[in-house]
Amino acid sequence: MLGVTLNPRQFLDRVAAELQRIDPAQVQRLSDLIYECYCRERFVFIIGNGGSGSNASHFCEDLGKGTLHRRFFDDSSKRRLKVLSLTDNTPYILAWGNDEGFERVFVEQLKNLASAGDLLIAISGSGNSPNILRAVEWANAHGLTTFGCTGFSGGRLKELAHHNLHVPLDDMGIVESIHLTAFHWVVDDLYRRISLDSPVASTPAA
């Protein structure tokens, strides 16, 4: 935890420096994949544990509502993004976790809900959470596209997912903050493409 040794100014400067290290092409790719799901009416699933689970819920809410202009709120002809955070089905998670093991809480939901062509966004700072890896393995084997959001060394998730947004830093809090910052840009970009009818992908700065 870098904040243990850094004062507020130093901490914020470090976060700013770490943001500059992120590959913008990875952030753009995430937006493109979600937009492809929107165009093809496929589902986007998001999973994570702890703070990454909170990010999954936050990202899901923003994608579901924040990509839609208010003029479309009552327009039943306007297609909406199909997005679901699998961190939020508490009874289901408790049932599988209690009866069969916590590593099954996401993959078993995918077995109920997912189809080939859907997108799974898997958020894990360590990249080694067993329930995340099990879900990604299943998704890869059943025709889903997988996108990992990782920190630290990236763990197994960085190798297993088809695409990645990697934050190469050994500080979970900052990793989660940078993930969420990237997610907010993705929401804004999708708002432009979905609600402002400007579908051409952005070109990220080098």
More confident: 67 or 82: 82
pLDDT at 78 over 90: no
pLDDT of residue 202: 65
pLDDT at 206 over 70: no
What tens digit of pLDDT does each residue of 28-59 get?
999 999 999 999 999 999 999 999 999 999 99
CA distance 158 to 131: 15
CA distance 183 to 31: 9
Domain 24-68+79-195 fold is: Rossmann fold (3.40.50)
With tokens 């708002």, the residue in question is 191
Mean pLDDT of 137-142: 98
Q: Where are the beta strands (DSSP E) in the chain?
A: 43-48, 82-85, 119-124, 145-150, 163-166
- Helices and strands, number each (H, E), in the chain: 8, 5
More confident: 120 or 76: 120
**Amino acid symbol at 188:** D
More confident: 17 or 78: 17
Rounded to 5°, angle at Cα 163 from 19 and 186: 50
CB 119 within 8 A of CB 37: yes
Q: What is the pTM of this model?
A: 0.94
The SS3 assignment for 107 reads helix
pLDDT of residue 203: 60
CB 127 within 8 A of CB 156: yes
pLDDT of residue 74: 80
More confident: 36 or 2: 36
Share of the chain above pLDDT 70, in %: 98
For residue 107, count other CB atoms closer than 10 A to its CB.
21
pLDDT at 110 over 70: yes
Where in the chain are the domains? 24-68+79-195
Average pLDDT in the chain? 94
Position 176 confidence tier, pLDDT thresholds 50, 70, 90: very high
43: left (phi over 0), alpha (psi -120 to 50) or beta: beta
